[in-house]
Structure 1
Amino acid sequence: MESPWTIPLSLLFLTLVLALVLALAIVLLGAITKLESERVDAGHAFFVDPNSSKRVACPSIFDPAQKCMSLIIPAFNEEHRLPAALSETLSYLQQRAKRDKSFSYEVIIVDDGSKDKTYKVALDHARKYTIDNVRVILLGRNQGKGAAVKQGMLHARGELLLMLDADGATKVTDLEKLEEQILAAAKRQLCVGGGASPISSVPNMPEVPVVAFGSRAHLEKQALATVCKYFSLDFSFCLFQISKNAFLLLFQRKWYRNLLMKGFHLLVLLTAGVGVRDTQCGFKMFTRAAAQKLFTNMRLRRWCFDVELVYLCKQLDIPVIEISVNWMEIPGSKVRMTSIMHMLFELMLIHVGYGFSLWKIQT
């Protein structure tokens, strides 16, 4: 005999499922509408003059380029990792400018609402290297890495624009690999001959939309991603002794991080399609034309903006070159379990926003 509770319980379960789906749809549509309304915000950013503490209006990505290269560093609570990364980056840029008088640069640090002394560290470097070479944009409240990168890109002055992480996980010298491939691709599109050459030798290069993604895909098979940290203390054990009081400790990446990475890559493949093996490496270079098209269309603010960039490149027919880079896993990652959930939510936003034409791509 059928229980009198069977049908009511079934209906209750179905009602709960429908309610959850409806709630998720409302949340998704609310987020999609909000992000669409805030899609382009390139007119009200300021950088700070470290000498007078006055706010100075930022230039626009649509202004003529004034530098050969802009390096955009998003930073959130990076007072400990940022100094070393900035020192390495600026040392390289200064040496390159001395070797090549035609080379000019700027470093844009976007403080994404840090609660520590990140802003002070960045401002000290702007004071030391002058605001023509180092600029600090303060977002005020934390908006996410994607929002910070977008602000830096929309107000950069370079012909080439490179985003790189504040932890220095990728050697800054690897930007030459990306630059070389972008210049070669631009020459092919412009039908210009010649081999490797400086940026200035391809005058129309900024007008050619090309993107180069740094990639760690070559590290997956051997699990060579390592955690590196130098200590000036006496330890009872170490793997490699570099000097009398300095040691190098190497740790293999955690198995569950590799598992999560594989699962995330599968979801990315379903979202953005094939073509890019590593979307999340924080080392990407854009020509000025590519940055204009991509970052005025980009909606996502946090973890999956890289995936959205891949999707936009395909929709806008912007070629993407993937290039292997040297990479080390630096302690201090901000990825948490809540971050994984937010990544999944943002992948759903891409599917729904673009799939149902709620997000229009401006060409």
Structure 2
Amino acid sequence: MDNSTILYGGLTLVLAAILSFYTVLVLWSPETIVPKVSEKKYRSRRSPSKPLPLGSIHDEKAAVDLTVVIPAYNETTRLPSMLTSTIDHLATIPKRTYEIIIVDDGSSDGTADLALKLSTGYAESDIRVVVLEKNLGKGGAVRHGMLHGRGRRLLMVDADGASRFEDLELLWEAMDKISPEEDAAVAIGSRAHLVKTEAVVKRSVLRNILMYGLHTILRIVGVGHIRDTQCGFKLFSRSAAQQIFPYQHLPTWIFDVELLLLAKQLRIPVAEVSIEWHEVSGSKLNVVKDSLQMLRDLLILRANLLLGRWKAAPKPVDQ
């Protein structure tokens, strides 16, 4: 066998490996999320039976100061107290107008009906209840709410109430500093300062091992500058939300990393702010299963970004 034959055979194997890798990547990559007609509407205290059209993040001007997006999957137990603490705090700042978008992510326990019932007790609040026809995952629910937010700033917050809602003011202040003119900016809650405290130490050994492993992988994929990517308490300026969320692909737990990588790609400043947080029972996270899915999704995310299959388009600068 001559050298040319060996070289040809080697090149063939390399090309076959590349083609196989690309095929697997395409097959494993999530499909583009296309909302159903019913998902573009909401019910509220004012219109409990007739769904009304949602707003859009692409509207030129904000209609309220703040949009609060709450992804909820089977949250009839934890949502009531979380919603109460949210509205109690927002009531302390009467000059700040707001809307709350509760995105029921295909729940089977009546979460949407409960949310609508709870809204009747808050006459001064604009609470909008949206129902996704099937469960997408936390990332898919957050994305949906953000794409239909009308706020000048938009906050994503978990339905479990683990984050102290009053700490919104810390994120608000941080955003004022990095974006005084309301340019694109992100302020994220961080639990990194709690790593050696009782709040984290008391968690299972397996969860803590996986947490440290995740942090190592995150440094490899490009967000090592962020100490806590997974805290579900993040504030976006309207400009940042307009540039980031239309290009989000991952609907699963690790979607936060994609948001931060998109912000980095777009050179959008991110402020990481220490907040109060506590463990709340009833987590939907399956530690082993979901950790393996996170690893797979991180690899899919990084590969798609490196190959240019996934990328954001910067917002045009006004002439």
Please report the TM-score for the alignment, with normalisation by the length of structure 1.
0.76
Following the alignment from structure 2 to structure 1, what is the Cα–Cα distance between the partners of residues 256 and 48?
A: 36
- Which residue of 1 is the match for residue 110 of structure 2? 117
Structure 1 segments, 4+ long, off by >2 Å, are 19-28, 37-44, 49-52, 125-132, 221-226
- In structure 2, C-alpha distance between the alignment counterparts of 1:259 and 1:223, rounded to whole Å: 16
Say which of 38, 56, 75 aligns to 1:78.
Answer: 75
- The verdict on how the C-alpha distance between 1:270 and 1:42 changes in structure 2, with shifts beyond 3 A counting, is farther
Pairing 1:61–2:36 present:
no
Q: Is the 8 A contact 2:186 2:234 kept in 1?
A: yes
**Does the aligned pair in 1 maintain the 2:44–2:127 contact within 8 Å?**
no
The alignment's C-alpha RMSD in Å is 2.6
Look up the match of 2:5: none
The aligned length equals: 298
- Please, which runs of 5 or more residues in structure 2 have no aligned partner? 1-12, 315-319
Change in Cα spacing, 1:52 to 1:262, as seen in structure 2 (3 Å) is closer
Measured after TM superposition, the shift of residue 117 of structure 1 is 2.2
**Cα distance in 2 between the residues matched to 1:285 and 1:303:** 18
CA deviation profile, 1:308-328 (whole Å, cap 9, x unmatched): 011111100000100000000
- 1:125 is displaced (CA, Å) by 2.4
Q: Does 1:346 align with 2:301?
A: no
Counterpart of 1:281 (choices 204, 212, 231) is 231
Distance 2:188 2:93 in 1: 22
Q: Which has the higher Rg, Structure 1 or Structure 2? A: 1
Q: Is residue 81–residue 161 contact of structure 2 (8 Å, CA) maintained in 1? A: yes
1: CA distance, partners of 2:123 / 2:24: 45
Looking at structure 2, the residues matched to 40 and 313 of structure 1 have their Cα atoms a distance apart, in angstroms, of: 24
The percent identity for this pair of structures is 40
**Structure 1 range deviating more: 279-288 or 114-123:** 114-123
Q: Is 1:333 paired with 2:308?
A: no
Question: Which consecutive residues of structure 1, in runs of 5 or more, have no partner in the other structure?
Answer: 1-14, 188-203, 227-251
Query: What is the 5 A alignment of 1:212-361?
Result: 212-225=187-200, 252-336=202-286, 337-361=288-312
Aligned to 1:45: 40
The whole-number CA distance in structure 1 between the counterparts of 2:174 and 2:49 is: 40
The equivalent of 2:27 in structure 1 is 30
**2:243–2:312 CA contact under 8 A, matched in 1:** no
Quote how far apart the aligned CAs of 1:274 are: 2.5
How far did 1:130 drift? 5.0
- 8 A contact 2:137–2:252 mirrored in 1: yes
SS in 2 for 1:70: strand
> With structure 2 as the length reference, what TM-score do the two structures score?
0.86
